[in-house]
Structure 1
Amino acid sequence: MAEPSRQLSDPRELLEGYLDHYRGEILRALDGFPEPEVSQVPSGWTPVAMLKHLAYMERRWFVWDYAGEPVEDPQGDRDDEGRLVTSESFEQVKEFYLAQCERSRQVVAEGRLSDRASRIGRFAPPKEPPTLGWIMFHVLEEYMRHAGHLDIARELAGGPQAAR
Structure 2
Amino acid sequence: MTIEFPAPTTPAAGQAEVFVRYLDYFRETVLARVAALPPAELHRSRLPSGWTPLELIKHLRYVELRWIEWGFEGRPVPEPWGDRQDDRWHVTPDETAATLTASLRSQGIRTTEVVLGSSLAATGAPGPRWEGAEPATLERVLFHLLQEYARHAGHLDVVAELAGGPVGE
Percent pairwise identity: 39
State the partner residue of 1:154. Answer: 160
State the partner residue of 2:35. Answer: 31
SS of the equivalent of 1:122 reads helix
- Which sits farther off after the overlay, 55-64 or 98-107? 98-107
Distance (whole Å) between structure 2 residues aligned to residue 77 and residue 135 of structure 1: 19
Aligned pair partner of 1:51 in 51, 57, 63: 57
State the partner residue of 1:79. Answer: 85
* Maintained 8 Å contact 1:37/1:90: no
State the partner residue of 2:117. Answer: 110
In structure 2, what residue type is equivalent to 1:96?
S
In structure 2, what residue type is equivalent to 1:25?
T
Structure 2 unaligned residues grouped into runs of 5+: none
Distance (whole Å) between structure 2 residues aligned to residue 3 and residue 77 of structure 1: 28
Distance (whole Å) between structure 1 residues aligned to residue 58 and residue 153 of structure 2: 13
* Maintained 8 Å contact 2:33/2:166: no
SS of the equivalent of 2:17 reads helix
Structure 1 unaligned residues grouped into runs of 5+: none
TM-score by length of 2: 0.88
SS of the equivalent of 1:99 reads helix
| Aligned-residue RMSD, C-alpha | 1.7
In structure 2, what residue type is equivalent to 1:111?
S
Aligned pair partner of 2:151 in 123, 130, 145: 145
Deviation at 1:13, TM superposition (A): 2.7
Distance (whole Å) between structure 2 residues aligned to residue 115 and residue 101 of structure 1: 20
Aligned residues: 161
* Maintained 8 Å contact 2:44/2:52: yes
* Maintained 8 Å contact 2:120/2:137: yes
* Maintained 8 Å contact 2:16/2:115: no
Note the 1:119-138 alignment, pairs <5 A: 119-123=126-130, 127-138=133-144
Structure 1 stretches of 4+ with a deviation exceeding 3 A read none
Distance (whole Å) between structure 2 residues aligned to residue 6 and residue 127 of structure 1: 33
- CA gap 1:27/1:77 in 2 versus in 1, 3 angstroms: closer
